[in-house]
Amino acid sequence: MEREVPESPLAVGTHAAAKRRRITCVIGTRPEAIKMAPVIRRLQRERWCECTVLCTAQHRELLDQVLQLFRIVPDADFGVMRPNQTLAGLTSRLIEHFDQTLSRVRPDAVLAQGDTTTSMAAALCSFYHQVPFGHVEAGLRTGNLYAPFPEEMNRVVTSRIARWHFAPTQEARGNLLEEGIGAENVHVTGNTVIDALLQVALQCNESPATPGLRLVLVTAHRRENFGPPFETVCRAILHLAERRRDIQFLYPVHPNPNVKKVAHEILGSHPRIQLCEPLDYLAFVAAMKQAHFILTDSGGVQEEAPALAKPVLVLRDETERPEAVAAGVVRLVGTDFDRIVAEATRLLDDSVHYASMAHGASPYGDGRAAERITAVLKNDLWRAEERDEAAATSSEEIAVPPVLLVAQAAAETVPLSASPQA
């Protein structure tokens, strides 16, 4: 039975100083919480703003694990998750809740991350209430509106609304510019998941590996793979386990019944395939560090694993994260049985090929993305008022020369020193 969390209103007018800017950060799923946690923690340390956290609980238990790890306490919780929820039903509940909240509380900015229904609905309702919206991890595209579904459409809608586009890479920036987004609104920051990963990786220890066995970590839950494609993935995993006595699989199974039921039916009886409940993020990072390679359809894992020097085989035909493919650390295998088996076998048997995919090159940042996002917001939200006040100062007063304000703002903006190549 799903745990319901009653909605609690965001605090109104609690900021200590009149000039402090109110920024609302929205999270709804586990990946969003992981990627927004560094931004939230950074903003909460700033004296120029008041950061509140709005949780939609699009995913419930998976989200709560991350909130506890990063010690984030939401100021409001919509509790919208329902068993076997539809996209239309979820979207309608989110829009109703966002509309009610933004009618009561008007922050100076709303931030959300990625491509979920939560982020799209937050952007849409921010537009309705004319509240500036910032999109973290902006500009990812496959060019196919139905893959990934519905995430690609969510990204496109969000980009038409956002005022600030925090692009993780130069390629993502290029996608936004091609769609007509003004260059002055696009900021290459790196991906905040690397901030979170590097923080958590320092806290976790790898469990001792089973002697003689190499670990293959699996995550698979994409909506577009439900049905026969996912069944094929499971059969390929089973075939590898039966054929290779030198590997074991660890598969934290997503609770969606379209995934859980099939995974247990096909894989549940093999002794070297361990199906378990979703791991908390600390344990999952430890599993990634221990794995020989990773089979996944997750976008976040495509970003995280290369930073840990782990090869990734992506169970999708298209990816909105082509930088890692170009770097040779991620390979697309789709849901084709033969391709999955062949590429997995090559990673197990060809040490030169394995080394070429496990060299630890991450095109997604250096762990300072949240710092750069905060600097942009401070310059735009807080420094803007200082510039307005300086312009309005009477001629008898000594105004701060605009050139000094520009220089000070530039000094606070942290460049991405090693931007990935497009």
Task: Give me the active site residues, please.
Answer: 115, 137, 151, 221, 223, 254
44: phi then psi, degrees, rounded to nearest 5: -70, -20
Q: Which residues, 6 or more positions from 218, have their beta carbon under 8 angstroms from its beta carbon?
A: 237, 249, 250, 251, 294, 295, 296
Residue 263: both structure tokens together: 């995974």
- Return d(Cα 244, Cα 236) in angstroms, integer: 12
Give me the residue label for tokens 């209430």: 129
Paired residues of 293 in beta bridges:
216
What proportions of the chain, in percent to the nearest 5, are helix, strand and coil?
45, 15, 40
DSSP 233-296: HHHHHHHHHHH-TTEEEEEE--S-HHHHHHHHHHHTT-TTEEEESPPPHHHHHHHHHH-SEEEE
* Cβ proximity of 190 and 365 under 8 Å: yes
In 125-196, the DSSP E strands lie at 133-136, 164-167, 186-188
- Return d(Cα 197, Cα 282) in angstroms, integer: 9
- Return d(Cα 11, Cα 253) in angstroms, integer: 37
Omega before 148 within 30 of 0, i.e. cis = yes
* Cβ proximity of 10 and 54 under 8 Å: yes
* Cβ proximity of 35 and 281 under 8 Å: no
Give me the residue label for tokens 């952007």: 123
Task: Tell me the CA distances in angstroms from 52 to 26, 49, 119, 125, 381, one per residue in order.
Answer: 9, 10, 16, 17, 16
SS3 306: helix
Paired residues of 165 in beta bridges:
135, 186
